[in-house]
């Protein structure tokens, strides 16, 4: 029995995807849920598993081709019925990949009651062209990343000689064009698009810095994910005015509570009790008093202040950095947060996180302390207004005010609470107030009720 493999739904508002690599080839045996191919969209890169076990009979859409959700990609013979399901995401929310529209569909005969493939291909091309406003037919068949780059750099794709299949424009072609344009006199540049896009300043071209010569070296090609992370980090710094502030937090009470409760907590909840959920509860308490930390600014300068806290949690994996999202974190207690964070982190490391769980954060948290760092200046996860960092908790001598002895030096568990914030949205004084609230909640450590403990 032949089973069609179709482009799965890859998340809200995603209508198409680019096949970046076939993991299995025609004639290969494939098991159900075994990775079959890789797909890239403007939001996520992911591996798609096979819907059934069988033999990959035919591949209808080749690598670098872009097709709509629901399009037939391949046929597997010898397996059971059913269609491709949503994939398990393995790479961080990303923009991109070079791609092209499938052309062979225009030559295939349509089934009864089905629109002609040529018309479908034209519809896809029209949509692609609309996505890179001002480029017309030149944008047809290019990937979401290429269209985005064209918009950002005010590039007319018809002016670029593509190096892809059939002369299609790839990301490298746009980048090379922008870099070369930056070296030419202004008169030699293509005219800017009219209207709102023309008023926006063009992004500065990438400057080629000569590499050091004469050294022993190993040239390691950057992975796709590493390139995506690089692009997004630079884009974040270019998008918002980022500053970092910090306070010192005495975590001694939290650590003592954790020591008392950790064994019973793990037995009851099934996850370890780390300092992170305590920090998240304090973060949410601060957001309730200073809600602009949980916001974003749109292109027109309007501020969107969110009532729900969708917490992006930076997760370190062998492939690179991912930011899965814990939805509605404000509705969870300490145990709920511990389990939710452990769940998304484990599924992210195992490559089982869903694409929709890698976007939609309203504020983010990074736990660099898990790897021993005592200080950090994190970069904002766009379009968030802020990211909170929890570096390592270390024992050191601190001057404390004892009610009986006065000022004395004692060994305490200390941590820096660090906030990188968008100065377009949050002023320095407000960032300081926000951090002081986090500090107050953690130092009071009134979490016995969450842990089922009697207050000492």
Each residue's pLDDT, cut to its tens digit, for the chain (456 residues) gives 799 999 988 776 678 888 988 999 999 999 988 889 988 876 667 788 899 999 999 999 998 888 888 999 999 997 444 443 333 333 333 333 323 333 333 333 334 444 444 444 444 444 444 445 445 545 555 665 677 778 778 888 888 887 765 677 777 788 788 877 765 554 444 444 444 444 444 555 566 678 888 889 898 888 777 887 888 899 999 999 999 999 999 999 999 999 999 999 999 999 999 999 999 999 999 999 999 999 999 989 999 999 999 999 999 988 888 899 999 999 999 999 999 999 999 998 887 888 788 889 999 999 988 889 999 999 999 999 999 999 999 999 999 998 899 999 999 999 999 999 999 999 999 999 999 999 999 999 899 988 887 776
Active site residue 427: yes
User: Which residue among the candidates 356, 427, 430, 450 is catalytic per the annotation?
Assistant: 427
Distances (CA, A) of 107 to 103, 120, 175: 8, 11, 33
Q: Topology of 229-451 in CATH?
A: Chloramphenicol Acetyltransferase (3.30.559)
d(CA 7, CA 66): 10
Instruction: Indicate the SS3 state at residue 178.
Output: helix
d(CA 246, CA 366): 14
Dist. CA 10–CA 45, nearest whole Å? 9
What dotted CATH number matches 2-97?
A: 2.40.50.100
- From 156, 423, 446, 450, active-site residue: 423
Q: Which of 38, 17, 159 minimizes the C-alpha distance to 95? A: 17
- Spatial distance between the Cα atoms of 47 and 40, rounded to a whole number of angstroms: 9
For the chain, give every domain's residue range.
2-97, 117-210, 229-451
- Tell me the residue length of the chain: 456
Burial of 196 (0-12, 13-18, 19+ CB in 10 A): exposed
CATH topology agreement for domains 2-97 and 229-451: no
Check residue 353 and report its DSSP letter. B
pTM: 0.65
From 318, 313, 413, select the one nearest 362 (Cα to Cα).
Answer: 313
């Amino acid at each position: 029995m032949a089973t069609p493999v179709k482009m799965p739904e890859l998340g809200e508002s995603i209508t198409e995807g680019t096949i970046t690599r076939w993991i299995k080839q025609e004639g290969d045996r494939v098991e159900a849920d075994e990775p079959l191919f890789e797909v890239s969209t403007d939001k996520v890169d992911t591996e798609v598993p096979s819907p059934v076990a069988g033999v990959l009979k035919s591949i209808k859409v080749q690598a670098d081709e872009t097709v709509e959700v629901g399009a037939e990609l391949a046929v597997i013979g010898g397996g059971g019925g059913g269609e491709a399901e949503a994939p398990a995401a393995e790479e961080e929310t990303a923009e991109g990949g070079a791609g092209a529209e499938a052309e062979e569909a225009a030559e295939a005969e349509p089934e009864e009651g089905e629109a002609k493939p040529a018309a479908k291909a034209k519809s896809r091309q029209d949509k692609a062209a609309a996505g890179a406003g001002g480029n017309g037919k030149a944008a047809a068949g290019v990937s979401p990343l290429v269209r985005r780059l064209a918009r950002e750099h005010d590039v007319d794709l018809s002016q670029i000689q593509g190096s892809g299949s059939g002369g299609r424009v790839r990301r490298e072609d746009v980048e090379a064009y922008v870099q070369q344009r930056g070296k030419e006199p202004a008169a030699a540049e293509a005219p800017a698009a009219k209207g709102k896009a023309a008023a926006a300043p063009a992004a500065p071209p990438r400057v080629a810095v000569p590499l050091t010569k004469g050294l022993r070296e190993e040239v390691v090609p950057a992975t796709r994910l590493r390139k995506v992370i690089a692009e997004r980090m630079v884009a974040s710094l270019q998008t918002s005015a980022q500053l970092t502030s910090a306070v010192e937090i005495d975590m001694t009470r939290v650590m003592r509570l954790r020591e008392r409760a950790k064994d019973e907590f793990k037995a009851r909840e099934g996850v370890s009790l780390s300092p992170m959920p305590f920090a998240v509860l304090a973060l949410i308490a601060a957001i309730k008093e200073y809600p602009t930390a949980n916001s974003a600014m749109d292109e027109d300068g309007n501020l969107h202040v969110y009532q729900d806290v969708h917490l992006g949690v930076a997760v370190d994996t062998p492939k690179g950095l991912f930011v899965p999202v814990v939805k509605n974190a404000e509705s969870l207690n300490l145990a709920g947060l511990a389990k939710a964070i452990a769940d998304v982190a484990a599924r992210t490391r195992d490559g089982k996180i869903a694409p929709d769980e890698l976007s939609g954060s309203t504020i983010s948290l990074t736990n660099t302390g898990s790897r021993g760092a005592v200080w950090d200046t994190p970069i904002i996860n766009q379009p968030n207004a802020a990211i909170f960092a929890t570096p390592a908790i270390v024992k050191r001598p601190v001057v404390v005010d004892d009610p009986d002895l006065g000022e004395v030096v004692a060994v305490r568990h200390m941590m820096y609470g660090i906030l990188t914030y968008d100065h377009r949205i949050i002023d320095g004084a407000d960032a300081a107030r926000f951090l002081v609230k986090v500090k107050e909640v953690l130092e009071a450590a009134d979490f016995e009720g969450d842990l089922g403990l009697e207050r000492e």
